[in-house]
Chain A
Amino acid sequence: MRIVAVANASLKRQFIDRSLPVVLSVIVFFHTHPTYAQDLGAGATVFKQCTSCHAIGPNAKNQFGPHLNGVMQRAAGSAENYAYSEAFENSIDTESVWDTAKLDAFLQAPMSYMPGTKMAYQGLSNADDRASVIAYLASIDSSGQLPEPAATKPEKTSQTSDGQQRSLARDIPIPEHGLLHLGRPALDAEVIAWDIDIRPDGVGLPSGSGDVITGGELYDEQCASCHGVFGEGEGRWPILAGGQDSLVDDRPEKTIGSYWPYLSTVYDYIRRAMPFGNARSLSDDDVYALTAYLLYLNDLVDEEFELSDQNFTDIRLPNENNFMSDTRDEEPTHQIVGEPCMQNCLPGIVKVINRAQILNVTPDAEEASDAPTVD
């Protein structure tokens, strides 16, 4: 084991010191040598925390981050159809391929290495982890073919009826948590990647800021085609602005300004689901800016306004106090008194007062019927 460890350590130094061709030659070496394949296994384990944003493999697609098939062999920023951040385009030489040193520095602290990157991940502080995950990424070609699994010791497996090699059940460790010991502890990076909800009291807000002017530019680019230039809503897309004092009207307009109780919902929803068809593509500052702009469209702030995590909870939406809990059971309709009437329950002859065919909105509805009416 000691020999293996030394060999791994020296290989890792090579990765860091040398450039891409060396990495590739080492990969060939890995594929033919079972001991080193285990080092790729370590990289595969480290890579698991990356899989919430990055895909690899034959069917890999861009997710929140670009797919990483052949990432060490392709030009930086060249994943097809992936919208890289502006920060990425500005700070990376997109003519050259990633080298180990650059990637090592990037992975150590992505957000400091490249402020504004979409890769909102605190980084891999352990150098061995970085080296193994870089080796692992280097071993994956552009087709997404994964390296062969490490050769395992024969006494640890059995040949099964379906021809699959599996570990013996007794060799698979049982986790300590819980009552049934199912699942595995979540890593901080995994929770950070998925836990994006914001509450009205500001819990969950990321640090950052954005102003009305910036938000207006983003809105015109990314939102106005559906929601209208002034938030008035195109077609049947949601109306976002206006409608103040319309809630008691015959046709109320329920907008952020007229109806929504909390601003946190605006931030949360834009960040989780907008723009429609490209969710999670906006930076936290983008979302602050858009939220600020939507306040502006609803005449709730002026055009100088900047929204941030610092002043966010100072903003209250006008309709907050018009929501109440479920009081349906206080309605007369919810009280049953004795047996319902069975005979002669209503006076007079039945009259039709309203019929669907007047509106004629049913799909494939024929022309309004000329059948005799009884009203």
Chain B
Amino acid sequence: MRAKNKASGSTAGAEFLDKNAGQRRQLLKSSVALGGLATGLGAATSSLAASTAPEKLITEVQDWNRYLGPGVDAKPYGQPSVHEADAVRRDVAWLTADAKSSVNFTPLHKLDGIITPNGLCFERHHGGVADISPADHRLMINGLVKTPLIFTMEDISRFPRENHVYFLECAANTGMEWRGAQLNGCQFTHGMVHNVMYTGVRLRDVLAEAGVSPKGKWILPEGGDAAHMTRSIPMEKAMDDCLIAFKMNGEALRPEQGYPLRLVVPGWEGNMWVKWLRRIEVGDQPWHQREETSKYTDLLADGQARRFTWTMDVKSVITNPSPQAPITHGQGQTVLSGLAWSGHGRIKRVDVSIDGGRHWHTARLDGESLNKSVHRFYYEFNWQGQELFLQSRAIDESRNLQPTKDALRAARGENSIYHNNGIQTWHVRADGSAENVEVS
């Protein structure tokens, strides 16, 4: 066994996994009352409580204790551990006709804290990922301005910069759940949200350079991709807190997030955060583009539809436990965790229920509480092995309370697609596995 394990480098990791799995199997046989879903390292360590044999991981010298690992620069751009291979974005193939105009989902159940790693931020494109050299990128300001202007990336970098952490949520996040529980995992039900720190310049400064006419009441940002994405945004928002960003979490925007330039529209639906931003037109009326008429309008039960529903309402979801992250450690001390956010500002409070809304407990908000950023909450409790019906409800600083899904359906019907911020329920069974359900 030891001789076989003398491999070094990346293969050692794979063998470690196999070996560890073997040990888990042993432990499972010799212990009692273990969850049936022993996945990941958590299962192996928590099983120790029931084990009487000394653990070989401790009593034997392991390969990684003995042999040298790779040196510096083995990976000039670092990557996650090979043991985190399932912390990836995933798509739902049947949702869209073609991957070039599609969406995938952030693995919320694999993350903690409030910052989404750049490589895990969900993607939504309407014409594939544009490949634009920053040297070839231009930003045009035209329309009702004194001097129509062209900026290079270097020009943009010369405006005063700001750094802000903001959530970006697709208006259609949770849109598959209007008619009832459908997708089994918070990645799929709630994964069209991410939260990163943007570095950029104030949109109002860039507009001021061109000199906005007093008649200018709206802007139309446009992307340089093959979809030429456009949305109408009222001037009031443009002059308030919008940014033109070129960095996310300190490094250049990822291509799939609009490299080299994207619009940041804090608290408003993600479709408006135009990627590959190449032009901003100033006008006196909205343009009624495809993504604000045919799409991103909210059809109500009476056949009327709301348009310009920009703000993302207060929302929360429990990320752990959840269908993709079952409880594997058995009864006892249990950490429940989740995310809450609101386009109206900061989250003031999150309540958690483990019995389907009969009783509520105020969760612990932890980490930074930032304006229009996701907030991390925790609720630690002693699980006695009973079935759980986990729910969370968030309240923001404007005293907006996250509604139930039934209340939303009563107000809007089932065909709105967008802006579903209803309370999510996870059913945790006695074996720790979890499912997306709705309860009475």
A residues near B (Cβ < 8 Å) are: 177-180, 182-186, 190-191, 194-201, 226, 235-237, 247-248, 252, 254, 256, 259-262, 264-265, 268-269, 272-273, 276-277, 279-280, 322-328, 331-334, 336, 340-346, 348, 350-357, 359, 361-363, 365, 369, 371-372, 374
Determine whether B19 belongs to the interface, using a CB cutoff of 8 Å to chain A.
Answer: no
Question: What residues of chain B lie closer than 8 Å to A365, measured between beta carbons?
Answer: 184
Question: What residues of chain B lie closer than 8 Å to A254, measured between beta carbons?
Answer: 294, 299
> Would you call A273 and B228 a contact (CB within 8 A)?
yes
> Would you call B293 and A342 a contact (CB within 8 A)?
no
Question: What residues of chain A lie closer than 8 Å to B211, measured between beta carbons?
Answer: 177-178
Query: Of B279, B287, B359, which is in contact with the most chain A CB atoms at under 10 Å from its CB?
Result: B287
> Would you call B182 and A201 a contact (CB within 8 A)?
no
Closest to B160 in A: A180
Determine whether B45 belongs to the interface, using a CB cutoff of 8 Å to chain A.
Answer: no
Q: Which of B205, B283, B305 contacts A323 (CB 8 A)?
A: B305
Query: Of B140, B158, B283, B431, which is in contact with the most chain A CB atoms at under 10 Å from its CB?
Result: B140
What CA separation (Å) do A128 and B289 show in the bound complex? 41
Question: What residues of chain B lie closer than 8 Å to A356, measured between beta carbons?
Answer: 181-184, 323, 435-437
> Would you call B439 and A180 a contact (CB within 8 A)?
no
Known contacts A324-B304, A353-B440; is-contact A197 B360 (Cβ 8 Å): no
Q: Which of B159, B299, B389 contacts A182 (CB 8 A)?
A: B159
Determine whether B155 belongs to the interface, using a CB cutoff of 8 Å to chain A.
Answer: yes
B residues near A (Cβ < 8 Å) are: 90-98, 100-101, 126-127, 140-143, 146-152, 155, 158-159, 180-185, 188, 205, 208-211, 220, 222, 226-228, 230, 278-279, 281, 283, 285, 287-290, 293-294, 297, 299, 301-311, 313, 323, 351, 355-361, 387, 389, 393, 395, 399-401, 403, 407-408, 411-412, 415, 419, 427, 429, 431, 433, 435-440
A200 → B minimal CB distance (Å): 5
Closest to A198 in B: B287
> Would you call A353 and B439 a contact (CB within 8 A)?
yes
Task: Give the 8 A-B residue pairs with the shortest CB-CB distance, closest first.
Answer: A350-B356, A333-B403, A178-B209, A356-B436, A247-B303, A186-B148, A236-B97, A354-B438
What CA separation (Å) do A324 and B309 show in the bound complex? 10
Number of contacts between A and B (CB, 8 Å)?
259
Question: What residues of chain A lie closer than 8 Å to B101, measured between beta carbons?
Answer: 276
Question: What residues of chain A lie closer than 8 Å to B313, measured between beta carbons?
Answer: 328, 334
What CA separation (Å) do A272 and B155 show in the bound complex? 27
28 interchain pairs, CB-CB under 8 A: A179-B208, A185-B147, A190-B140, A194-B278, A195-B142, A196-B228, A197-B220, A200-B288, A201-B285, A237-B98, A247-B303, A248-B303, A254-B299, A259-B294, A259-B299, A259-B305, A265-B293, A272-B228, A323-B297, A324-B305, A326-B306, A340-B351, A350-B440, A351-B440, A353-B439, A354-B181, A355-B181, A374-B387
> Would you call B287 and A199 a contact (CB within 8 A)?
yes
> Would you call A342 and B307 a contact (CB within 8 A)?
no
B421 → A minimal CB distance (Å): 9
B359 → A minimal CB distance (Å): 6
> Would you call A276 and B307 a contact (CB within 8 A)?
no
Closest to A255 in B: B294
What CA separation (Å) do A198 and B435 show in the bound complex? 47
Q: Which of A237, A264, A357, A374 contacts B97 (CB 8 A)?
A: A237
> Would you call B399 and A336 a contact (CB within 8 A)?
yes
Question: What residues of chain B lie closer than 8 Å to A332, measured between beta carbons?
Answer: 407, 411
